[in-house]
Amino acid sequence: MSEAQSSADDGRASDDADPRGASRPVGLALRLIERVAEWQPIGASDLARRLALPKATVHRLLLALETFGWLERDGGSRPLWSVSMRPIAVGGRAIERKSGLRMAALSVMDALRHQTGESIHLGLVDGENIVLIERIDGVNSVNIFLPVGTSWDLSWSSSGKSVLAHLPEAELASYLQTPRYRRKSETDIIPATELRQELAGIRDRGFAISVGVPPAASSSIGAAIFDKRGRPFAGLSITGASDRLREEQLLALAPQITAAARRISIGMSMD
């Protein structure tokens, strides 16, 4: 009888349906924040419809999130909602104090950008995604600046693939449970065997490359960063316009990216 939890008909919940400790309003509120961030600026009714939730419930939560400073609305007669700066401020402070990663990586990244002239990206694994947490811009002209916080499936970036390649088999299998799509045409599924084969090569060589990635055509070479226990948890990559960084040039950067990633891993292990 302890946790009967007769979720009868509401068991929808796109991503999380895990009532440990529960707290439904909290879950709703957080989902709201995420969806508003995705669809902003958006009106209350529209939001309620898309989430399949009662208008009154959504409205009440929006009001609450506004007074807590996480959401805000423009001053139109039909208010549209957006997220405030709060998540970024929270996330920024989090990065700042997080492990030693950022600190350990910055000097290495700076050196790397001066050696190569290209932009250096540092990503942190978040579940099945890799999130950009720091970017240092190269001297060469750059056609696109990815905002910090950009999140991609692990299979979509060179650094993500490097992480995948060094994941324990059990976790890789669980990752491959869900079909993965190609970056370019988001309807093509990548066959698991094809991905496994590529990952094997990456594991041997110690780096991954990725060519002509949308939205701007950019190419990159990446390597994984490991914690003290030898677990890959972050990735480093050199990224540039794909007309300058062709496969040939990317491969020439292999020694540098692997050395840099290794140096960061070592720097992290010294705490």
Partner DNA sequence: TTTAGCGTCCCGTATAATGGGACAAAGTAT
Partner DNA sequence: ATACTTTGTCCCATTATACGGGACGCTAAA
Binders of a second copy among residues 86 to 115 (CB under 8 A) are: 86-98, 102, 106, 110, 113-114
Selection from a second copy, DNA, none that 78 binds (CB < 5 to 8 A by kind) is DNA
Selection from DNA, a second copy, none that 269 binds (CB < 5 to 8 A by kind) is none
**Strand ranges for 80-207 from DSSP E:** 81-83, 119-126, 129-136, 151-153, 180-181, 189-190
Selection from a second copy, DNA, none that 124 binds (CB < 5 to 8 A by kind) is a second copy
Taking contact as CB under 7 A, which single stretch among the options 20-28, 116-124, 207-215, 240-248 is the one that binds DNA? 20-28
Angle, helices 192-205 vs 169-177, to 10°: value is: 150
Binding to DNA by residue 76, rule CB under 7 A? yes
Residue 53 φ/ψ region, left for φ over 0, alpha for ψ in the -120 to 50 degree band, beta for the rest: beta
Binding residues for a second copy restricted to 125-154, rule: CB under 8 A: 126-127, 129, 131-134, 136-137, 139, 141-142, 145, 147-151
- Residues 134 and 152: their CA atoms lie apart, in Å, by 14
Single out the residue of 3, 16, 248, 271 in contact with a second copy (rule: CB under 8 A): 16
Minimum gap (Å) between residue 239 Cβ and DNA: 39
Residue 204 φ/ψ region, left for φ over 0, alpha for ψ in the -120 to 50 degree band, beta for the rest: alpha
Q: What are the distances in angstroms from CA 221 to CA 109, 136, 196, 213? A: 14, 15, 18, 12
Minimum gap (Å) between residue 204 Cβ and a second copy: 29
Q: Would you say 29 or 154 has its CB closer to DNA? A: 29
Minimum gap (Å) between residue 230 Cβ and DNA: 22
How far apart are the two ends of the chain, measured CA to CA in Å?
47
Of 82, 66, 62, the residue nearest 74 (C-alpha):
82
Residues 6+ positions from 14 with CB-CB distance below 8 Å? 31
Site residues for DNA per CB under 7 A: 2, 10, 20, 22-26, 28, 43-46, 49, 53-57, 59-61, 63, 76-80
